[in-house]
Structure 1
């Protein structure tokens, strides 16, 4: 969402008009310089997410910067359409950083994707977050992009991602904090890839199994009732014959 501001009242040189190749290069260079200026600042990126057995995710995401351009960009963050009842965005300001805290409750995996895409700072997405299910295994993949922040600003950068699953974590490249939790601490000057997986029953399959049990139970009751009714009918017939 980088914007390029041109001075008003200045004659346009046809050689560098916006639609000419030179003009497009100039706009691209200006946008790149603007992005580099923004990223010389520092970001606070923190996320805590908890996955439930019903395949929904709740938690909090913090995105804050120490530069005016970052602050202005973060003020424009808005809740993705359709998630107004599940997502709440509040202002954040502490220790020289200003931004937004995003609280979310019981998002589906697809809704987590939508929320991740909505978090943008001057055209860049610091987070990618995604959950996928395959059979009984749920996998998390994501990244935190701090490649535009100088590595020598590590002391002022605070970045951490915490994730909790409803069952033990099978595979991960993060730091295990217990059987069900894992964390990552991304460093400035790099892109940190995150992955973790856990296995627990598919709630859709579990629901189907419950209905199967209920259906079988109902069928047995009907069968038992039919057998009892038939025996009662035969007993009555025998008494009448006698």
Structure 2
């Protein structure tokens, strides 16, 4: 099987250049069950398959991306694996036909989803979606990524499974292949693939240091003004008549 390059997310070339789309909740633990690994179960149903995901984590902890799920000739019915989007995400997720290099299936595209919304896309994997998972957590100034893709039941020559994630910060540690702020994983059929990464990224919910700096600066100026006034009064006491 020819392995094609993974699809690029439908975001501008630099995924970190997106404007912030709004504030999120505090530093609570949020789980991202990635689309790629939750769709791995489809491989056991269709034999040879292509599952390629490109995700871009934005500075405001939202996720953009696209995912291709396809089989040779669109097996088993010529249309490829059936994809069902949860009703609550129908307005946020686009599903379009995909056909390239003899592979036929679907391409899922989404923009600005929260971690929680992306986790709901595990329904696309059906009841067997629990075979794999990806957890993404905000831990202060870092984004921690952990997960696994279990391909032990997939034929050794039967799959092209890739994951690419762009991060808005420096990749500090990973078991994937780092390239600047991007990490790539290629999963081998017949094995369990581990997903780990730690990324230094500013917490969008952290208090702004600019505001505190301006506030402290104003206090210093005010204190200096009071000191000047008091000094003048001490030098030139009022004349008593």
Q: TM-score range by the shorter chain?
A: 0.5 to 0.7
Aligned residue in 1 for 2:55:
49
CA separation in 1, counterparts of 2:65 and 2:146?
Answer: 16
Q: CA deviation at 1:102?
A: 1.3
CA separation in 2, counterparts of 1:56 and 1:140?
Answer: 14
Aligned residue in 2 for 1:124:
128
Post-superposition Cα deviations, 1:14-72, rounded to whole Å, max 9, x if no partner, equal: xxxxxxxxxxxxxxxxxxxxx99953522211011122222222221112234226957
Aligned residue in 1 for 2:210:
210
Structure with more relative contact order (C-alpha pairs < 8 Å, separation 6 or more): 2
Between structures 1 and 2, the one with greater helix share: 1
CA separation in 2, counterparts of 1:129 and 1:169?
Answer: 17
Q: CA deviation at 1:148?
A: 2.8
TM-score, length-scaled by structure 1: 0.64
1:78 aligns with 2:78: no
Aligned residue in 1 for 2:141:
136
Q: Which runs of 5+ in 1 are unaligned?
A: 1-34
Aligned residue in 2 for 1:67:
75
Q: Which runs of 5+ in 2 are unaligned?
A: 1-40
Matching residue within 157, 160, 181 for 1:158 = 160
**Closer, same or farther: CA 140–93 of 1 in aligned 2, 3 Å:** same
CA separation in 2, counterparts of 1:42 and 1:101?
Answer: 17
Spell out structure 1 runs of 4+ moving beyond 3 A: 35-38, 69-73, 213-225, 238-242
Matching residue within 109, 114, 119 for 2:115 = 109
The alignment yields a C-alpha RMSD, in angstroms, of: 3.6
Give SS of 1:119's match.
helix
CA separation in 1, counterparts of 2:108 and 2:81?
Answer: 15
**Closer, same or farther: CA 71–203 of 1 in aligned 2, 3 Å:** same
CA separation in 1, counterparts of 2:43 and 2:193?
Answer: 22
1:148 aligns with 2:156: no
Q: CA deviation at 1:109?
A: 2.3
Aligned residue in 1 for 2:191:
190
CA separation in 2, counterparts of 1:38 and 1:222?
Answer: 70
CA separation in 2, counterparts of 1:128 and 1:216?
Answer: 46
Q: CA deviation at 1:239?
A: 9.6
TM-score, length-scaled by structure 2: 0.64
CA separation in 2, counterparts of 1:199 and 1:135?
Answer: 9
Q: CA deviation at 1:124?
A: 2.2
The answer to whether the Cα contact below 8 Å between 2:155 and 2:190 also exists between their aligned partners in 1 is: yes
CA separation in 1, counterparts of 2:100 and 2:61?
Answer: 33
